[in-house]
Amino acid sequence: MAVADVAISFVVVVGIYAILSYGLTLKYGHTGLLDFGHVGFFLVGAYISVFFVLPPDDPGDFTAYVAGLADVPVVGNWLVGIIIATVVAGIIGGLVALPTIRLREDYLAITVLGVSVIFQRFVQAESWFANGPDALRGYSPPLKGNFPLLLNSELTLPVVGGTVPATPTLFAVTAAVVWAVALAVLGGERDPATRLPASSLYLAGSFGAAAGNLGRGRVAAVGGIVAGILLGGVLLLADAILLAGVVVSLFVWAVVLVVVSARVDRLGRREWLAGIGLGTGFLVALLPIPYAGSVAVKIAGTLALLTALVGGFYRAVRTREWFAAGKLRIIGAGSLWFVSVWYFVLPLVGPLAGGDFAGALRTLFANLVWALSFGGDVGVDYLVTGLGSLTVRVDYQRFLLAGVLLFMLGAYYLLELTARSPFGRVLRAVRNDEDVVRSLGKDPFVYKVQSMVLGSALGGFAGALWAMYTQGLTFVTFAPRVTFIALLIVFIGGASNNKGTILGAAVFWAFQQATTQLASFFPPALRVNVLAFRLVAMGVLFLVVLYYLPDGVLGRADYGTPIDTDETTAAEPGKGTPAYADGGDEE
Amino acid sequence: MSAVLEVEDLRKSFGGIVAVDGATFDIESGSITGLIGPNGAGKTTTFNLISGFYEPDSGTVRYDGRELQALMAPSSDERLVWGGASGLTFGSLGGVAAFGLAGLGTAASLGVGAVGTGLGAGLYVGQETVKQAYDGHKNSRPFMLAREGLARTFQITRELGDMTARENLMLAPQAQSGENLVNAWLRRGAVAREEADLYDRATEMLELLEIDHVADERAGNLSGGQRKLLELGRVLMLDPQLVLLDEPVAGVNPALTEKLMDRIETLRDEGYTFCIVEHDMEVIMNLSDTIIVMNEGKKLVQGPPEEIRQNQRVVDAYLGVD
Amino acid sequence: MAPTIGLPNAMLTGLVTGSIISLGAIGLALVYDIAEVPNFAHGDLLTLGAYAALLVNKPGSVPLFDAFATGPRAVGTAGAGIVFLLSTAGVLGSVYHLGGVRALKGSWWGVDAPPTVGLGVHAAVAALVGALVVAGLPSYPAALLFAVVLLGAVVPLTESLVYRKFREKGVELAMMLVVSLAMAFIIRFSIQTVFGGDIRFYEVETTVPVAGRSVDFTFAKFIDFLIAGNGVTATVLETRGGETTQLLALGYGWLEVVALLAVASAVAVAGYRRRQGSAAVVGPRLAAALGSAAVLLVGGAVLSGGASVPSDPLVSTRLRTSPLRVGIVCIALAMMGLLHYLLRATTLGKAMRATSDNRDLAMIRGINTRRVMMVVWIIAGMFAAVAGVLLGFLFSNITINLGFFLLLPMFAGVILGGISVYGAILGSYVVGLAMEVAIFAVPGLSATYRVPVAFVVLLLVLLIKPEGITGGS
């Protein structure tokens, strides 16, 4: 599997876990409700949504479940399934909240943990409900049948009827979403001082929409739709999927470059050097694992090198003032360096060592044009000068990526909107001191229940996406461990920081992915131990974050930022996004 | 002048220690009433009872002619939600149990679910009835009183430390449309305009209290005196009819105390009513129209400041002579 | 026809479950109450104890340590030396937690003793424990002792290395909960990092000679209670390979039953009266309970006779249990008695109770609250070790989730009891009984629902009384 494919499934999981963790960000970060049973709503969402896309239960086979509505018109599809799953998770969250929420915080945490365990045991014990202790399978994610995208398949339109060519349509949708998300991110990076590359890219990428007086969301939407239509049109007219893929990929790379360089500007040269040193050191520390022969040397070597690295870092923090001040930025630079090397350089080592320059070039190209999947038997063949023959297709992961990105951004936007509204202000007040809220004529109970409902609904939504992603469910997945992970994610980025949740999810899954890869270099008998060790490391990481960074890596976000009165008074109802609902938070 | 608050034979004890022991007094509308007494006289407990933070053991408090307990009773909407939730829980659990555990058919399970729903709703109604009618249940839902214009401050300042001073003030006003989630999401323009107004009001209040220079500072970082002022500002942002101030000027510098007193008098003249607990005799004597002296949970005397100043029983109470 | 298993059997099982829960819950409640840590890692301490015992019981199966093993259940001199060192280090470590080197010199004794005496006594005790463990290798009691002394030293480390640091930062209770959750992760998966994913079990010599014959104490015995027209009969049966042997039969006429119950209640009332208002070790309720239990036991033994099994009993019910299960209840009761004595009769216990009531006041009164806190952690660790090792034996499979599954019932018991040691014991038995009785009484409720039942009980109680059954308002 190419590195790009790994990265894409990485982003998909990050997105789903970010949405899951947003539920906790709202509950704990914004309202102060310590919900140790968050996984329960994840479970509810997953199973409820699946019932809408499963075929009716066949009593004759070895699986049994309570409902399979796939054959019911209008109702039996993912859209309805996800909506109902979200709503039901929210309602159950509310029902759980009503009796429990007035308990002391520690009692609340333990009781809701109990509720989530009850849900899990219910699924495990009741074999009629969702196949009991065995996995529930037999459904497929939406439009899966149309992938990988080839040039001549047809897509049947739901409700309206009739067919359209699948490839241009689905590629256009995927590209539009990716394009819009990239634009939205880019829009957040615009400096008031307007750096030239950023604003010209923004202007160009939005096809001029940025020049008008539109809000960031609308610019992104317009840009995405136009890009989608254009690319779809190209595919409709010609077999140019490679070209279309290159265009989308390059645009996203350009945005990434602009965003990263905006960050880079804030780093001094020595911080950069320290970061690169750190990243390289980390890379070197991991070398014994793939290359050392004996297990003892793998473990001892890596642990010794890592200890030396961490010790050096600690020493530098203690002795160098500039290092201590910029330690998070240095870690950021180091991670960036490490990820770049992992993504671009490491995949080339194999082919280059074998003297296969064309192969190395092909790998590099495949990783650059991430929007397309390369290799394999199925796909469109191209012959490109200098690269040789390429087999190209768009696989389902990329489509899923677009969907999950869109939903994650939607959840982020929803949380921002909530946190910056008077409603969010009451939530923060509840978190600070309920008596004050009570003395000011507001019932904290009402707000806490609403927070639970909304947070649980987000958990349920994430559950539905998870069901879609994994294409099979077992009760084991929904262990209390998931709540722990979501909490960790929330705390890494900063408990009440909406951007922090995405960062936390990325950090967690990067760690997860990296350790899974490293574990594969150990003999199979030892893998359980290695995988257990990474959970130990995760626990230690959690303690370190809690102790040294109680406000998370990104710190507290200021959701009470004073409103720019000029802009607010100018805002018409329903027109544009008021300034306070938009950007403006900081690192 | 009529009484805005009538307290009658109010009693409250904590585990055998009687804090308020049959206090009876009135507070005149449009006046400033001082509530004084030696430490442990039950002033703050009385405040907590009047503002609904404690349930009284017995006795009545009437605000604006209405009994506090009636004012704090849950609304019919709330009852509906609780009854509905109880019904929904019992109904769904019953249905699932019938289907899964007892192995009944779909129709029978739906029937069991319906019975469960009725049972759940009935259980809620039943326990509410028992609670109200036989258990002597007392409500403690101070937010209902604040909505009616009965507001209080806290003796030890309760600033919302993570929020800015301005946010502390913007939180207070009632009936903000943006506190409804649907409006916060869908009617952003209207909410934004409202917020801009609140922003201006909060700024005015901060200027009035002369803490506008810390408007965007986290309230947790303010000095003790600034917090006192913030607390006062917050309660005034509520636009209350009767304000209970628990030691409003403790820790505030003399010049500002002067200003605050002027401000409270102006507000009184505009029709607000104040009831103030304060240990600074100078302040309370100058400010109050009437003074109530409490001792050992009871009202000792009530009267204009001059009279109180000369009352021998008050002097005895403060000196601890029985 | 043999009597069927009924509600009394479920209650007996509930008593066993309650005993194990309470062994864990006592430590959890102590830590919750005095150290103010709602310790999510407590379940994993049980697991840690269960795995630590493997070092003695099956040294050949412990990774890394198997290098010193000379067989599956035997170690060479070096291995025995390590076990000895670990045991002595455990004892000395526990003492060290009480106040560093000065504690080792006897500063915690409360009496003035020369440092050399203190050091000498501690060293002697440590050596004795070490020798006991080594002498007992690889028996189950030695493994139990080893786990207890090891955890007595290791568990307080979590306090001094982690929880204290956070407490000094003044974090709120919710944050402590999260910290302990992270600790739970670290402990549980550290165990798995070392031991891997295999299921383990102890090897225990389960046949013991009793009255001239060998009895396997893990084998189930049936106790039939038969009520007939002329009195009550209890028989103890053993079934092995389809063959049922009657081990014991006790018969009581109605007169005897009434007389026994009357005397027992009279003794109970007398004991209660006599001890009323006393705050000594044996308070009124304990006096009543002990008195009546003694009467029932002695009287039952003396009056037993007429071992004819009625052929047509009016009521009959069967209990299925094993000496092991009864033993677990006894061990639990004995440990509770020990703790009770410690809390009521020693200066340390008084300091613990004072700290529990009001830490600041205790500190002002000159109580070394830090030492009290360490004592609490040491006790919690030792009790957790006992519970874990017993549980590992009872279930005869040890997995890393061993303790975690018990954590939730333990928490339910502690919260039910209003976060106090005595409340936790009561709460644990309530939870244990509720779990077993509900599984028995509700048709269609499979054993998977044990833990949920504990929670439903907790939820119901909290709905009615949000501070727990013994808590104040």
Q: What is the pLDDT of residue A572?
A: 37
Q: What is the pLDDT of residue C470?
A: 56
Which residue, C295, C321, C347, sits at the end of a domain? C321
A218-232, A548-562, C256-270, range with the lowest pLDDT: A548-562
Q: What is the pLDDT of residue A411?
A: 94
> How many CA atoms, within 13 angstroms, populate the side-chain half-sphere of residue B141?
20
Enumerate neighbours of B (3 or more CB pairs within 8 A): A, C
Which whole-number Å values give the CA distances from B32 to B26, B239, B273, B291, B303, in the listed order?
12, 16, 6, 9, 12
Task: Name the minimum distance, in Å, from the CA of B89 to any CA of chain C.
Answer: 14
Mean pLDDT for the stretch of residues B14-28: 87
Indicate whether C295 and C348 sit together in one domain.
Answer: no
Indicate whether C331 and C431 sit together in one domain.
Answer: yes
What DSSP assignment string belongs to C54-113? HHHH-GGGSTTGGGGEEETTEE-HHHHHHHHHHHHHHHHHHHHHTTHHHHHTTTTSSS--
Tell if the CB–CB gap between C445 and B100 is shorter than 8 Å.
no
Token pair listed for C8? 């009394």
Tell if the CB–CB gap between A117 and C452 is shorter than 8 Å.
yes
Which residue, C321, C341, C373, sits at the end of a domain? C321
Domain hosting residue C274, numbered range: 220-321
- Residue C132 inside a domain? The answer is no
- Residue C302 inside a domain? The answer is yes
Residue C364 confidence class, pLDDT cut points 50, 70, 90: confident
Which residues are bridge partners to A163 per DSSP?
A: A156
- Residue C82 inside a domain? The answer is no
Q: Which residues of A touch C193 (CB under 8 A)?
A: 529-530, 532-533, 536
Residue B157 confidence class, pLDDT cut points 50, 70, 90: confident
Q: Which residues of C touch B100 (CB under 8 A)?
A: 444
The chain C residue lying nearest B100, using CA atoms, is C444
With 50 as the cut, is the pLDDT of residue A582 above it? Answer: no
Q: Which of residues 395-454 of C touch B (CB under 8 A)?
A: 442-445
Indicate whether C330 and C316 sit together in one domain.
Answer: no
Tell me which residue of B290, B295, B246, B230 sits closest to B51, measured CA to CA: B246
* Total number of domains constituting chain C: 2
Q: What is the pLDDT of residue A580?
A: 37
Q: What is the pLDDT of residue C330?
A: 92
Indicate whether C352 and C305 sit together in one domain.
Answer: no
Tell if the CB–CB gap between A114 and C462 is shorter than 8 Å.
no
With 80 as the cut, is the pLDDT of residue B47 above it? Answer: yes
Token pair listed for A555? 């710190």
What letters, b where the CB count within 10 A reaches 16 and e where it falls short, cover A113-125? bbbbbbbbbbbbb
Mutation target vs A (from B78, B160, B193; most A CBs, 10 A cutoff): B160
Mean pLDDT for the stretch of residues B101-114: 85
Mean pLDDT for the stretch of residues A313-328: 88
Tell if the CB–CB gap between C443 and B100 is shorter than 8 Å.
no
Mean pLDDT of chain C: 86
C207-210 and C213-216 beta bridge pairing: antiparallel
Which residue, C293, C321, C349, sits at the end of a domain? C321
With 90 as the cut, is the pLDDT of residue B99 above it? Answer: no
Tell if the CB–CB gap between C193 and A111 is shorter than 8 Å.
no
Residue C231 confidence class, pLDDT cut points 50, 70, 90: confident
Mean pLDDT for the stretch of residues A254-269: 82
Q: What is the pLDDT of residue C329?
A: 92
- Residue C106 inside a domain? The answer is no
Burial bucket for residue B135 (CB in 10 Å: 0-12, 13-18, 19+): exposed
Provide the 3-class DSSP secondary structure of residue A10. helix
Indicate whether C232 and C299 sit together in one domain.
Answer: yes
The chain B residue lying nearest C442, using CA atoms, is B101
Query: Length of chain C, please?
Result: 473
Tell if the CB–CB gap between A113 and C174 is shorter than 8 Å.
no
Mean pLDDT for the stretch of residues C143-169: 94
**pLDDT tens digit sequence for A425-441:** 999 999 999 999 999 99
Task: Name the minimum distance, in Å, from the CA of A549 to any CA of chain C.
Answer: 12
- Residue C353 inside a domain? The answer is yes
Q: Do the Cβ atoms of A165 and A155 come closer than 8 Å?
A: yes
Residue A65 confidence class, pLDDT cut points 50, 70, 90: confident
Question: Between the ranges A81-90, A545-554, B95-104, C118-127, where is the mean pLDDT highest?
Answer: A81-90
Task: Please give the torsion angle defined by the CA atoms of residues A531, A533, A539 and A541, in that order, rounded to the nearest 10 degrees.
Answer: -100
Q: What is the pLDDT of residue C227?
A: 83
A188-197, A206-215, C91-100, range with the lowest pLDDT: A188-197
Residue A146 or A565, more confident: A146
Q: Do the Cβ atoms of B235 and B174 come closer than 8 Å?
A: no
Task: Name the minimum distance, in Å, from the CA of B79 to any CA of chain C.
Answer: 17
C-alpha A468/C-alpha A85 separation (Å) is: 12
With 50 as the cut, is the pLDDT of residue A77 above it? Answer: yes
Percent of chain C with pLDDT over 70: 97
Q: What is the pLDDT of residue C247?
A: 78
Q: What is the pLDDT of residue C467?
A: 64
Task: Name the minimum distance, in Å, from the CA of A395 to any CA of chain B.
Answer: 36
Distance, first Cα to last Cα, chain C? 53
C-alpha C435/C-alpha C428 separation (Å) is: 10
With 70 as the cut, is the pLDDT of residue A38 above it? Answer: yes
Q: Which residues of B touch A566 (CB under 8 A)?
A: none
With 50 as the cut, is the pLDDT of residue B145 above it? Answer: yes
**pLDDT tens digit sequence for B256-277:** 888 888 888 888 898 889 999 9
Residue A518 confidence class, pLDDT cut points 50, 70, 90: confident
Tell if the CB–CB gap between C459 and A100 is shorter than 8 Å.
yes
**Minimal Cβ distance to A111: which of C162, C175, C459:** C459
Q: Do the Cβ atoms of A501 and A489 come closer than 8 Å?
A: yes
Indicate whether C160 and C35 sit together in one domain.
Answer: yes
**pLDDT tens digit sequence for C49-84:** 999 999 999 888 888 888 888 887 888 888 899 999
Residue A380 confidence class, pLDDT cut points 50, 70, 90: confident
Mean pLDDT of chain A: 86
Indicate whether C151 and C201 sit together in one domain.
Answer: yes
Q: Convert A547-579 into a string of H (helix), E (strand) and C (coil).
A: HHCCCCCCCCCCCCCCCCHHHHHHCCCCCCCCH
The angle, 0 to 180 degrees and rounded to 10, between the axes of the packed helices C173-195 and A480-493 is 120
Mean pLDDT for the stretch of residues A36-49: 96
Q: What is the pLDDT of residue A129?
A: 87
Domains in chain A: ranges and CATH: 3-142+397-548 (1.10.3470), 148-264 (no CATH)
The chain B residue lying nearest A453, using CA atoms, is B181
Beta-sheet strand order (sheet of A373-374): A373-374, A388-393, A380-384
**pLDDT tens digit sequence for A403-425:** 999 999 999 999 999 999 999 99
Mean pLDDT for the stretch of residues A370-384: 81
pTM of the model: 0.91
With 80 as the cut, is the pLDDT of residue A196 above it? Answer: no
Mean pLDDT for the stretch of residues C273-288: 79
Which residues are bridge partners to C208 per DSSP?
A: C215
Task: Name the minimum distance, in Å, from the CA of C464 to any CA of chain B.
Answer: 11
Task: Please give the torsion angle defined by the CA atoms of residues C242, C243, C248 and C251, in that order, rounded to the nearest 10 degrees.
Answer: 80
Indicate whether C398 and C381 sit together in one domain.
Answer: yes
Q: Which residues of A touch B172 (CB under 8 A)?
A: 440
With 80 as the cut, is the pLDDT of residue A536 above it? Answer: yes
Is A218 an 8 Å CB contact of chain B? no
Q: Do the Cβ atoms of B85 and A98 come closer than 8 Å?
A: yes
C-alpha A263/C-alpha B278 separation (Å) is: 54
Which residues, in sequence order, are CB contacts of C198 under 8 Å at separation 6+? none
Residue B198 confidence class, pLDDT cut points 50, 70, 90: very high
- Residue C95 inside a domain? The answer is no
> How many CA atoms, within 13 angstroms, populate the side-chain half-sphere of residue C285?
2
Task: Name the minimum distance, in Å, from the CA of B101 to any CA of chain C.
Answer: 5
With 70 as the cut, is the pLDDT of residue A151 above it? Answer: no
Q: What is the pLDDT of residue B201?
A: 93
Q: What is the pLDDT of residue A281?
A: 92
Strand segments, DSSP code E, in B68-181 are: 150-152
Residue A566 confidence class, pLDDT cut points 50, 70, 90: very low
Residue C312 confidence class, pLDDT cut points 50, 70, 90: confident
C-alpha A315/C-alpha A386 separation (Å) is: 49
With 80 as the cut, is the pLDDT of residue C215 above it? Answer: no
Q: Do the Cβ atoms of B273 and B304 come closer than 8 Å?
A: no
Indicate whether C438 and C348 sit together in one domain.
Answer: yes
C315-321 and B58-63 beta bridge pairing: unpaired
With 90 as the cut, is the pLDDT of residue C376 above it? Answer: yes
Indicate whether C237 and C354 sit together in one domain.
Answer: no
Percent of chain A with pLDDT over 70: 93
C-alpha C69/C-alpha C146 separation (Å) is: 17
Q: Do the Cβ atoms of C176 and A543 come closer than 8 Å?
A: no
- Residue C374 inside a domain? The answer is yes
Indicate whether C368 and C313 sit together in one domain.
Answer: no
Q: What is the pLDDT of residue A575?
A: 35
Q: Which residues of A touch B174 (CB under 8 A)?
A: 441
Mean pLDDT for the stretch of residues A446-470: 96
Residue A212 confidence class, pLDDT cut points 50, 70, 90: confident
Q: What is the pLDDT of residue A149?
A: 76
C-alpha A315/C-alpha A332 separation (Å) is: 18
Indicate whether C343 and C455 sit together in one domain.
Answer: yes
Which residues are bridge partners to A389 per DSSP?
A: A383
Q: Phi, psi (5° rounding) for residue C179?
A: -60, -45
Percent of chain C with pLDDT over 90: 36
Is A566 an 8 Å CB contact of chain B? no
With 60 as the cut, is the pLDDT of residue B54 above it? Answer: yes
For residue B254, say if its preceding peptide bond is cis, omega within 30 degrees of 0.
Answer: no
- Residue C111 inside a domain? The answer is no
Q: What is the pLDDT of residue C469?
A: 60
Residue A16 C-alpha from the chain's centroid: 5
Task: Name the minimum distance, in Å, from the CA of A539 to any CA of chain C.
Answer: 5
Q: What is the pLDDT of residue A1?
A: 57
Tell if the CB–CB gap between C197 and A34 is shorter than 8 Å.
no
Residue A192 confidence class, pLDDT cut points 50, 70, 90: low
C-alpha C152/C-alpha C157 separation (Å) is: 9
Domains in chain B: ranges and CATH: 1-54+142-159+231-322 (3.40.50.300), 76-133 (no CATH), 161-221 (no CATH)
Mean pLDDT for the stretch of residues C256-279: 85
| A-C contacts (CB, under 8 Å) | 128
Number of Cβ atoms within 10 Å of the Cβ of B322: 6
